[in-house]
């Protein structure tokens, strides 16, 4: 059995990865975030309690597990400190269990300011305004500041001054550079002291863990359709969200990554701007949004609602190399009649079965649907696949056959225990 498992979203994010990662963490030793930042939001519910995490891997909620924030993540020190404090208040200690790569880049106040300026100045794409994009932008431009730099006061001060000089023309439209610099250094010493105990050579830690055949779970943020290369560019995030990003983002050899669990909803949602071929409006969309509590964990924004899209999913599963699927939110579709699934697109007189790379074409396509009668009844208490109504089982099995990837987990509620496992051996359960 593989000693690694990568968990990735295969839609536009918000697929319910936090719950699934938390569930799988019980049989894992290490849980690793490898990309994104506090723009991601993972909600976990168990024991009647709800936890919303943004940077710390959700496996931290399982006693004794070790969590890693890899080099591919961008870290807002203030946000991380608040998250650690929240966990502490709720009786969860991260001491000796949370490790942060010194090579991860740091989000600073000017990154957030740039993000807001662009969103409000007509250049926005619907970001979370957390500074994620500008931080990755600095990383690629080779003017970024890493955790290791943040911990060295002289190095940090010199690098901040360098970046502010480069970004002065844009930043000074909002406020004087001296004020921005003051904001950067506000509470700096306290943040540096907070971060230092968590910093470790995480690539080496994970390599040693794999040598000892300890199980490592890689937790992706966002979803495949927000991937910088394969997503709906330019309405994407600033990192590689697909499973391949785990190797570079965690410092683990690609040969270790051979088992990928794709997380998909039983329908589709999206937050922010960008193309969404199966988007639905009206009574049905409002019902699904209400029943599924479809509001962003990070921003609280209402999510856009659409039918399941097999054209989109086939692309996402292909580029992520998914070996199995977890379907979430099946319970939300109870009493929706009929259910629809997009099986192809029409572009003019052409029928497309592959997702088009053209940014204009994807706005012009019309979905081609197959309909199902749907199902009724409260399925949230089902714990065996055979307990589901026939209509629900037919829906799952038809999708599985069309995608050609086994659906090994079906989630029927937000709580960790509201989960049906169809193949325990495949998913470590």
CA angle 344, 348, 349 (to 5 degrees): 80
Tell me the three state secondary structure of residue 411: strand
Q: Which two tokens stand for residue 8?
A: 């990735």
Give me the residues paired with residue 60 across strands. none
CA 351 to chain centre: 31
- Beta strands 407-411; 419-421: pairing state: antiparallel
Q: Look at residues 285, 319, 323, 322 and name the one whose alpha carbon lies nearest to residue 305.
A: 285
Token pair 């019980």 is found at: 26
Of 14, 138, 149, 227, catalytic: 14
Which residues are 410's β-sheet partners?
Answer: 327, 420
337 part of the active site: no
User: In the chain, helix, strand, coil percent, each to 5?
Assistant: 35, 20, 45
Distance CA 150, CA 171 (A): 21
Judge whether 14 and 332 are in contact, CB under 8 Å: no
Give CA separation, 195 vs 82, 95, 99, 151, in Å: 12, 12, 10, 8
Closest to 262 measured CA to CA, from 394, 72, 157, 400: 400
| CA pair distance 227, 231, nearest whole angstrom | 5
* Residue 297 DSSP one-character state: T
Burial 135-163 (b: 16+ CB within 10 A, else e): bbebbeeeebbbbebbbeeeebeebbeeb
Backbone angles phi, psi at 175, to 5 degrees: -160, 160
The CB-side HSE value for 246 (13 A sphere, CA atoms) comes to 30
Catalytic pick among 22, 42, 54, 105 = 42
42 is catalytic: yes
Q: At what angle do helices 177-185 and 109-120 cross, to 10 degrees?
A: 130
Question: How far is the C-alpha of 20 from the C-alpha of 8, rounded, in Å?
Answer: 10
Which residue has 């979370």 as its token pair? Answer: 128
Tokens standing for residue 244: 């391949």
CB atoms within 10 A of CB 233: 14
Which residues are part of the catalytic machinery?
A: 14, 42
């Amino acid at each position: 059995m593989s000693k690694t498992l990568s968990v990735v979203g295969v839609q536009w994010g918000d697929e319910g990865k936090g719950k699934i990662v938390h569930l799988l963490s019980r049989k894992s030793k290490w849980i690793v975030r490898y990309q994104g930042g506090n723009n991601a939001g993972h909600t976990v519910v168990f024991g009647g309690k709800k936890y919303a995490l943004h940077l710390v891997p959700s496996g931290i909620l399982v006693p004794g597990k070790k969590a890693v924030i890899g080099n591919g993540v961008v870290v807002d020190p203030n946000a991380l400190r608040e998250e650690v404090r929240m966990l502490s208040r709720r009786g969860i200690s991260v001491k000796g269990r949370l490790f942060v790569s010194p090579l991860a880049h740091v989000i600073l106040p000017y990154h957030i300011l740039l993000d807001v300026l662009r969103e409000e100045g007509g250049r926005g794409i619907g970001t979370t305004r957390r500074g994620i994009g500008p931080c990755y932008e600095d990383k690629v431009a080779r003017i970024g500041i890493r955790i290791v730099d943040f911990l060295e006061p002289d190095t940090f001060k010199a690098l901040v001054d360098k970046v502010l000089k480069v970004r002065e023309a844009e930043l000074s439209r909002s406020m004087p550079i001296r004020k921005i610099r003051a904001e950067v250094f506000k509470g700096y010493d306290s943040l540096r002291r907070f971060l230092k105990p968590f910093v470790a050579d995480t690539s080496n830690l994970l390599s040693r863990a794999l040598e000892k055949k300890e199980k490592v779970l890689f937790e992706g943020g966002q979803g495949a359709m927000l991937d910088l290369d394969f997503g709906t560019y330019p309405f994407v995030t600033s990192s590689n969200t697909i499973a391949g990003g785990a190797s570079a983002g965690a410092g683990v050899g690609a040969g270790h990554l051979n088992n990928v669990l794709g997380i998909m909803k039983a329908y589709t949602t999206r937050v922010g701007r960008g193309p969404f071929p199966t988007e639905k409006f009206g009574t049905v969309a409002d019902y699904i949004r209400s029943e599924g509590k479809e509001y962003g964990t990070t921003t609280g924004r209402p999510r856009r609602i659409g039918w399941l899209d097999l054209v989109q999913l086939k692309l996402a599963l292909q580029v992520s190399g998914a070996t199995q699927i977890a379907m979430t939110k099946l319970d939300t579709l109870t009493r929706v009649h009929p259910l629809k699934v997009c099986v192809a697109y029409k572009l003019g007189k052409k029928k497309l079965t592959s997702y088009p790379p053209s940014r204009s074409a994807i706005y012009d396509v019309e979905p081609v649907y197959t309909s199902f009668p749907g199902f009724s009844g409260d399925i949230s208490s089902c714990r065996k696949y055979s307990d589901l109504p026939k209509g629900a089982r037919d829906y799952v099995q038809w999708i599985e056959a069309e995608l050609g990837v086994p659906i090994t987990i079906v989630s029927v509620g937000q709580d960790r225990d509201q989960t049906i496992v169809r193949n325990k051996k495949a998913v470590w359960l």
